[in-house]
Amino acid sequence: MTVRVRFAPSPTGMFHVGGARSALQNWIYAKQQGGVFVLRIEDTDAARNKPEWTEGILSALDWIGISRGSYEGPYFQSANAGEHRAAAARLYESDRAYYCDCTREDVQARTGSQYQGYDGYHRDLGLGPGEGRALRFRTPDEGTTVVVDLIRGEPTFENKLIEDFVIARGDGSPVFLLANVVDDMTMGITHVIRAEEHLPNTPKQQLLWEALGVKPPIWAHVPVVVNEKRQKLSKRRDKVALEAYRDEGYLAGAMRNYLMLLGWAPSGDREIVPWSVIEDEFRLDEVNLSSAFFDEKKLRAFNGEYIRALPVAEFIDACQPWLTGTETIAPPPWQPEEFDADAFAAVALLAQTRIAVLSEIVPNVDFLFLASPLIDEAAWTKTMKDGSAELLDDAVAAFEALESWDAESLKSTLEAVGAERGLKLGKTQAPVRVAVTGRTVGLPLFESLEVLGRERSLTRIRAARLRLV
What is the spatial order of strands in the sheet that 134-137 belongs to?
97-100, 134-137, 166-168
Q: What is the pLDDT of residue 383?
A: 94
What is the structure's pLDDT at 111? Answer: 66
Please say whether the beta carbons of 364 and 351 come within 8 A.
yes
Classify domain 372-467 by CATH number: 1.10.10.350
Which pLDDT score, from 0 to 100, does residue 112 have? 59
Nearest one of 255, 224, 257, 220 to 241, comparing CA atoms? 255
As a residue count, the chain comes to 469
Residue 262's nearest CA partner among 450, 13, 23 is 23
Residue 168 confidence (pLDDT): 96
Question: What are the domain boundaries of the chain?
Answer: 372-467
Active site amino acids: 235
| C-beta separation of 445 from 432 below 8 A | yes
Q: What is the DSSP string of 318-340?
A: HHHHHHH--SSSPPPSS-GGG--
Q: Rounded to an integer, what distance in angstroms lies between the CA atom of residue 178 and that of residue 87?
A: 8
Measured CA to CA, the distance from residue 140 to residue 204 in angstroms comes to: 11
List the one residue out of 189, 228, 195 whose CA is nearest residue 37.
Answer: 189
Q: What is the largest CA-CA distance in the chain?
A: 102
pLDDT of 108 reads: 75
Q: CB count, 10 Å around CB of 109?
A: 10
DSSP for residue 287 = S
Q: Which residues of the chain have pLDDT under 70?
A: 46-47, 111-116
Of residues 8, 17, 6, the one with CA closest to residue 54: 8
Judged by DSSP in three states, 411 sits in helix
Give the tens place of pLDDT for each residue, 382-396: 999 989 999 999 999
What was the pLDDT predicted at 40? 97
Residues 6+ apart with CB under 8 A from 302: 254, 257, 258, 271, 272
Strands 225-226 and 72-76: unpaired
Position 113 scores a pLDDT of 61
Give just the sign of the alpha carbon dihedral 189, 194, 196, 197: negative
Query: Taking Cα atoms as reference points, which of 83, 10, 72 lies closest to residue 41?
Result: 10
Report the C-alpha gap between 232 and 306 in whole angstroms: 27
pLDDT at 52: 85
* Rounded-to-integer distance, Cα 149 and Cα 145, Å: 12
Q: Find out whether 82 and 53 touch, Cβ atoms under 8 Å.
A: no
